[in-house]
Amino acid sequence: MNASRIRNGDFAVIAALAAATALSPLGTAHGALYPLHTRDGDASGDRLGGAVSGVGDVNGDGVPDVIVGEPNHGGPGQVIAGRVYVLSGSDGSIIYTIDGDKQGDRFGASVAGIDDVTDDGVADFIVGADRADGAFGEGDAGRVYVFDGATGELNALLIGENSLDLFGFSVAPIGDEDFAFIVGAPGFDGAGDDSGKFYVYGRDGDGSVDAFVEEEGESDGDEMGFSVSGIAGFAPGGEPLFDYDEGERGDAIIGAPGADGDRGRVYVFSSEDETLFDGSFFDGEDAGDRFGSSIAAIGVLGSPFGFIGAIAVGAPFHGGPGGVAAGKVYLASIDDLDAFQTVDGESGQLGRSVARVGDQDGDGITDLVMGAPFLGASEAGAGRAYVYSPGAGAFLATADGEGPNANFGCAVSGVGDVTGDGRDEIVVGACVHAGPAGIAAGKAYVLTLTICGDGTLDPGEACDDGNTVGGDGCDAGCAIEAAETLCCVDRDGDGWMTVDLASPEDCVLPVVGMKNTTFVPCGVGGAVVA
C-alpha cells in the first residue's frame, strides 16, 4: 500500500457551471446541477469513478471530503492494480493517493466512508479490491482495506475466504456503536455457485476489526452481497439513522440480484439480533430484472409518508415504458417491505446506482440520486444522473454525461454539505468517459444542486436563482454582472429549464448538458429584458 498526502494536488476545478434538467415521468424537474470539481482518470482504461463515496471531514477544514475509486489503474508493471483518491470537498485537491498492491487486484472497486473506528475523532474509510488474491494465493478471493482517515495509513486488512469469492465487491457503513461496516462477497459458493455471502465488521474489546456476523445466500446464483447499504452516523438524539427494528443499533440492507432467475431479492439485517430478519425480504417484479443491483438505506421519511423508515432499490434490467432494460427504482417502507413509490426509467438501466443525498428541496424529506449510465438522450451511452424527491414524486434535476459511452451515473453518492447552503452535495462517476488520458479513463464529478426559479427574490439576490449562495452560478449580481452568471426558471411551463443570461455569447466556457436549453436576456428579479 503506497499512500501519499498532497494538500494542493492537480485537481481540476471547473469555472464553467453546468445545468442539465429534463421533464421527468413523474413531474417537472426544476433544479440545476453544477459541477464544483471534476477529476479525470490517469490513463486509458483506468475507469476512474467506478466507485464513489462521501467520507466525512478527513483533512480538518470543516468540510466533508470525497473518495473516488480507479479500479483499473495500473502502476509500473502492475496492470489493473487499482488506485483510490481521497479528495478535498472544499477545493478538489488530493488529500491521499493510495495504490493497489498487485496486478489484477482492482483496488478501488468499492469505497465507503465509515464512522471513526480508530478513536481519533476523524472519520475513516474502507476500500475493496474484489480481485485480490487470498491469504494463501486463492485467486480473486478479494480483500478489504480499512484506512485511518486522519493519516491515510492502513488500519486493518480483511481477506476473502476462497477463490472467486469477490470479497469486497461491495462495502458500506452501518453506523452502529459496535458494527462499523458491511462487506459483500457475491461470488462465495455456499448453498451453490455464486450463492454469495456478506460479513458485518466491528471492533472487539482490544480495538481490532473483526467479523461479528456472516450470512450466506440461500440458493445457487443468488449473489448475496452484490450490493450492501447502511447509514453511517446517528441522529441528534443519539439514535441510529437507519434502524429497522426500532432497537438501539443501526441496521443494513443486502441485495441478491441473482435470486430466483435474476428476479432479485433484498434482505434486511438486524444489528440488534445480529441476523437477517425472518421473512424480511423484498422480491423483484420479473425474472431478469436483477432487483437489488443497487440499494440505499434512506432513513426516516416524514410527512406525507407518516414518518416511516425507507429503502430504495434499483432493478436496472426491468423493462418498463422506456423499453427493454429501461430500469426502475422502488421506494419501500422497511415496516412491510412494500413499495409505496416507483420510478420508471426512460432507458439506459435506471437503478444501476442509487444513493441518499439528504433533503435537497427543503421539504423535510430525504432525497435520492439515481443513475442510468447507459441512457443516450444526447449521445449513445452518455449516461444520466437524476436527483429525485420522494416528497414531490418528481425529479428535481438531471445531468448528462459529456460524450458517447461515458456511462455517467455508473456510481453515485451523497457527500455532505460542501458549500454551506444546507444541502448535501453529490458525487457521480462516469467510469467509461474518454478524457485527456484516453478512452475509458473515467471521470468523477462533485455536483451541487440549485433549486432555481422559486418565484421569490430573496435578500441579497438581484436574480431569482432560488438561493443566495455566492459562486453557485446564479450570482447575486445577475442583472449587473452578466458574464458567467445564470438564472434558471421554467418560463413556459413545459418542464424544461430556461437559462437566463444577459446575452448568449457570455456563455463561452464548455459546460455539461446544456442541450435543450434556451437563452434569454435576464433582468432584475429574473424578469425578461425586452
CATH assignment at residue 346: 2.130.10.130
Q: Residues 358, 466: one domain?
A: no
Give mean pLDDT, residues 165-182: 90
Instruction: Return the minimum-mean-pLDDT range out of 50-59, 211-220, 429-438, 493-502.
Output: 493-502
Same domain, 62 and 45: yes
Whether residue 59 is found in the same domain as residue 100: yes
Helix or strand holding residue 109 (H, E): strand 107-114
Whether residue 325 contacts residue 349, with contact meaning beta carbons closer than 8 Å, is answered with: yes
Percent of the chain with pLDDT over 70: 74
Q: What is the mean pLDDT of residues 122-149?
A: 98
Task: Say what the pLDDT of residue 353 is.
Answer: 99
- Pairwise pLDDT comparison (338 vs 149), residue with the higher score: 149
| Predicted local distance difference test score (pLDDT) of residue 510 | 27
SS3 per-residue string spanning 457-521: CCCCCCCCCCCCCCCCCCCCCCCCCCCCCCEEECCCCCCCCEEECCCHHHCCCCCCCCCCCEEEC
Q: Pick the more confident residue, 404 or 362.
A: 404
Report the pLDDT averaged over residues 44-66: 97
On whether both 472 and 339 belong to a single domain, the answer is: no
**Percent helix, percent strand, percent coil in the chain, to nearest 5:** 0, 40, 55
Sheet with 252-256: strands ordered across: 227-229, 252-256, 265-270, 275-283
d(CA 124, CA 101): 20
Q: For residue 425, how many C-alpha atoms fall within 13 Å in the half-sphere facing its CB?
A: 30
347's grid cell: 432507458
> Rounded to whole angstroms, how far apart are CA atoms 127 and 143?
8
For residue 426, report the phi and psi dihedrals to the nearest 5 degrees: -130, 140
Mean pLDDT for the chain overall: 80
148 shares a domain with 87: yes
Residues 396 and 493 in one domain: no
Average pLDDT for 65-91:
94
Burial class (CB in 10 A: 0-12, 13-18, 19+), 412: buried
pLDDT score of 217 more than 80: yes
Range in 16-30, 282-296, 377-391 with the lowest mean pLDDT: 16-30
Here the cell at position 384 is 444520466
Confidence of residue 301 (pLDDT cuts 50, 70, 90): confident
Confidence at residue 233, expressed as pLDDT on a 0 to 100 scale: 67
Distance CA 329, CA 392 (A): 16
**Same-domain check for residues 478 and 397:** no
Q: How far apart are CA 171 and CA 365, in angstroms?
A: 25
- Give residue 204's pLDDT: 83
Query: What is the C-alpha to C-alpha distance for residues 291 and 30, in angstroms, rounded to an integer?
Result: 29
- pLDDT tens, residue by residue, 451-503: 554 444 444 444 444 444 444 444 433 332 232 334 444 344 433 334 444 33
Q: How high is the pLDDT of residue 122?
A: 95
Q: Are both 330 and 475 inside the same structural domain?
A: no
Domain count, the chain: 2
Range of the domain at 304: 2-451
Inform me whether the pLDDT recorded for 187 exceeds 90. yes
Cell 429574473, located at residue: 526
Q: Is pLDDT above 60 for 521?
A: no
pLDDT at 34 exceeding the cut of 90: no
Q: Kindly report the CA angle at 290 between 110 and 305, in degrees rounded to 5? A: 85
Q: Report the DSSP beta bridge partners of residue 267.
A: 254, 281
- Please check whether residues 353 and 369 belong to one and the same domain: yes
CB atoms within 10 A of CB 335: 12
CA-based nearest residue to 481, from 458, 504, 501, 509: 501
pLDDT at 429 over 90: yes
Tell me which of 387, 417, 451 is where a domain ends: 451
Q: Which of 451, 484, 499 is the last residue of a domain?
A: 451
Choose between 177 and 380: higher pLDDT: 380
What distance in Å separates the CA atoms of residue 2 and residue 100, rounded to the nearest whole number?
8
Determine the Cα–Cα distance for residues 46 and 328; give it in Å rounded to an integer: 29
Instruction: Answer whether 510's CB lies under 8 Å from 485's CB.
Output: no
Predicted pLDDT at 205: 76
Q: For residue 314, what is its C-alpha cell?
A: 434499483
Position 237 scores a pLDDT of 59
pLDDT, position 243: 74
The answer on 491 and 444 residing in a single domain is no
How confident is the model over 100-126, as a mean pLDDT? 95
Backbone phi, psi, residue 262, to 5° = 65, 15
Q: Are the C-beta atoms of residues 173 and 231 closer than 8 Å to each other?
A: yes
Q: What is the CA radius of gyration of the chain?
A: 22
Specify whether 13 is located in the same domain as 92: yes
Kindly tell me if the per-residue pLDDT of 27 is higher than 90.
Answer: no
219 vs 224: CA distance, rounded Å: 9
Are 445 and 498 found together in one domain? Answer: no
Q: pLDDT above 90 covers what percent of the chain?
A: 56
Question: Of 451, 483, 509, which residue sits at a domain end?
Answer: 451
Q: Which residue has the higher pLDDT, 505 or 147?
A: 147
The confidence score (pLDDT) of residue 392 equals 83
Q: How far apart are alpha carbons 171 and 166 in whole angstroms?
A: 12
